[in-house]
Amino acid sequence: MEHFYITTPIYYVNAKPHLGHAYTTTVADSLSRFHRLMGAETYFLTGTDEHGDKIVQAAESNGQSPQEYVDIISKLFEDLWPNMNISNDDFIRTTQPRHIEVVQDILQKVYDSGDIYFGEYGGHYCFGCERFYTEKELVDGMCPDHKTKPEYIAEKNYFFKMSKYKEWLLDHIKKNPDFIRPAQYRNEVLSLLESGELEDLCISRPKSRLTWGIDLPFDKDYVTYVWFDALINYLAALGYPEGGKFKKFWPSANHLIAKDILKPHAVFWPTMLKAAGIEPFQSLNVHGYWLIKDTKMSKSIGNVVEPLAMKDTYGLDAFRYFLLREMSFGQDSSFSEEALIGRLNADLANDLGNLFSRTLSMTHKYFGGAIPRPDVEDIVDAEIKKLGQNAMKSFQDFYSEMKFSRGLEGLWELVRGLNKYIDATAPWTLFKEKDMDRLSTVIYVLLENMRKIAVHLWPVMPESSEKMLKQLGINFDPEKVNLPKELDVWGLLESGEIVAETSNLFPRVETPEPKPDDMAAKVSKKGKGKKDKKQGEKTAAENNGIIEFEDFQKIDMRVGTVREVEKHPDADRLLLVRVDTGEDELRQVVAGIADFFTPDDLIGKQVVVVTNLKPRKLRKQLSQGMILAVKSGDGMQLLTPTAEVDAGSKVS
């Protein structure tokens, strides 16, 4: 049997859990469930990182002892995970004796083998990162992550001979393409290693400066550097060195992290393992950041997204689906409730929810709720089965490669294909024509495919998946499912079983009213834009982000020359921009660009205007279109032709 060991970073207990922690842990949960259904024995570890300066400072500012403080915050993490349906097998804390023992054991081994030495060192220490930076690594003398000036500290310490393993590490990364993935992070580590000397790693802190840590087994005046301590959690939880779990799961270790902690995981950790005589982990999987309106989440900005608030507002599974569907693994992604609502309404309520409610209600209307026996097969049935096979294969392959978004996109081919299949086969007509044989097959094909979809969705939305299966009369048991077999197996749904009558899985959520500053259309990242759609019309999100050429042709965009600009009398952020678009009169656009441009900046400029947008009043001023602009960093740029053109020229 295959094994699959998945870990999250152990989170610092200096802050409460937020969206970022929830994302990594949800991905780990989803992977653990997925590999379980693929037939592997899985082990899923998360936990908390509780030593170091940061924690002492956080405890002090809270008026608590470090131990009291870490107990409270660690519990917040431990209690959050069941609320998010996270199925971790273990939760490790670095203050637990089982962890401390293994850290000391490894330190002693590496010390005995001669790879730890005592020396003097002066370096730029960032308290935020809890690490020394070399001159070269600083950006304008500042910590590249915290943008603060590190403190120069010179002291005697213990060092790990990391430099000794540079060539080995380079070679290992080159020979194992999946050791660090996606490729951009692998390349980043390769160029870091190839561009210069790999320094030795300072692995101790004198107790005169920090006592909250694990004692070095060979010098009681020092505690262990928090990263050397923390990384070892991945072994400690498996009962290294003798534990059965270690022997079973270690060779299949998959670590999941964000890009912020790439170097400790991609450089410190494999070299530490090598020095301790332990084989390397299998794969380091690195994702990007969730950003809020293009900025990092931070307590001081007040834009921290709390996972439980999202769960309460939109439902846990919609939140989980969004996280997995929206982020391209490895890239940064913007989080917004608008984009979440877009996905919830389009993919879940519309596509998936409708498929379930339509089919279940037809099964009741035409067969009294009993799953019919398939009878007359048609070419469309073979086609949809083939589509289903391809969609499931695509889901399974992409998921195995950590490409969750593409996997879900693949599976939705089947969801949408089935909705089209309903329209094409028109069961209501078959019923009217009393063609019950054909109708039986159509309904069976739908229900059996829905079963397959529901099973594949267990790693993504476990609760909804189980509900969907229940609606199809099945009590879900993960031990009985094998996803690869689902590609070929057909007909597991038993005819005669009664299905549920209704299926209100994902109620629609109303999109909040657009704010005025959306009138300056931001050429926005995928999923960020407001939707402006009539009932019944499909949006781009509903269609996988793709629009038809005809849809694009509907938009009339013209280059216009700005002739007059004035401030909106009632709104500081709006400007009234009057543009010559080659018509008899100037066209007035109310644009939310006053934070970025003065009227004088704009007069005479050529801009791109969407001219066939339905006119509307914004704060009592008529707006006849939209000016295209790009938000970039803290500023904004207007779209303009590279050379002057006639006012009114069509953009195509």
Residues within the interface to ligand MSP (CB under 6 A): 9-12, 20-21, 23-24, 49, 230-231, 233, 257-258, 260-261, 289-290, 297
Q: Active site includes 126?
A: yes
Catalytic residue among 147, 149, 293, 299: 299
> Which long-range CB contacts under 8 A does 132-141 form with residues at least 24 apart?
132/202, 134/199, 136/196
232, 233, 236, 241 alpha-carbon torsion, rounded to 10°: -30
Q: Active site includes 129?
A: yes
How far, in whole angstroms, is CA 510 from its chain's centroid?
A: 24
Query: Is the CB of 10 or the CB of 540 nearer to ligand MSP?
Result: 10
Residue 111: name the closest of 189, 19, 216, 200 by CA.
216
Smallest separation, CB 170 to ligand MSP (Å): 23
Query: Is the CB of 12 or the CB of 159 nearer to ligand MSP?
Result: 12
Sort 536 into a burial class: Cβ within 10 Å, 0-12 / 13-18 / 19+.
Answer: exposed
Smallest separation, CB 532 to ligand MSP (Å): 30
Q: Active site includes 146?
A: yes
How far, in whole angstroms, is CA 412 from its chain's centroid?
A: 18
Sorted by sequence, the CB contacts under 8 Å of residue 557 that are 6+ apart come out as 608, 609, 610, 611, 628, 650, 651, 652
Q: Active site includes 296?
A: yes
Query: Is the CB of 21 or the CB of 181 nearer to ligand MSP?
Result: 21
Smallest separation, CB 95 to ligand MSP (Å): 13
Catalytic residue among 3, 164, 296, 385: 296
Q: Which residue is nearest to ligand MSP (CB)?
A: 20
DSSP 8-state code for residue 370? B
Smallest separation, CB 543 to ligand MSP (Å): 28
Query: Is the CB of 334 or the CB of 394 nearer to ligand MSP?
Result: 334
Sort 363 into a burial class: Cβ within 10 Å, 0-12 / 13-18 / 19+.
Answer: buried
Query: Is the CB of 10 or the CB of 411 nearer to ligand MSP?
Result: 10
Smallest separation, CB 21 to ligand MSP (Å): 5
Q: Active site includes 299?
A: yes
Helix H or strand E encompassing 333: strand 333-335
Catalytic residue among 146, 156, 386, 650: 146
Smallest separation, CB 524 to ligand MSP (Å): 19
Q: Report how far residue 119's alpha carbon sits from residue 370's, in angstroms, rounded to the nearest whole number.
A: 77
Catalytic residue among 143, 265, 274, 403: 143
Measured at the CA of 141, the angle between CA 139 and CA 142, to 5 degrees, comes to 65
Sorted by sequence, the CB contacts under 8 Å of residue 289 that are 6+ apart come out as 20, 258, 259, 260, 296, 332, 333
Query: Is the CB of 21 or the CB of 416 nearer to ligand MSP?
Result: 21
Q: Active site includes 18?
A: yes
Q: Report how far residue 596's alpha carbon sits from residue 583's, in angstroms, rounded to the nearest whole number.
A: 27
Measured at the CA of 282, the angle between CA 280 and CA 287, to 5 degrees, comes to 115
Q: Which residues are catalytic?
A: 18, 21, 126, 129, 143, 146, 296, 299
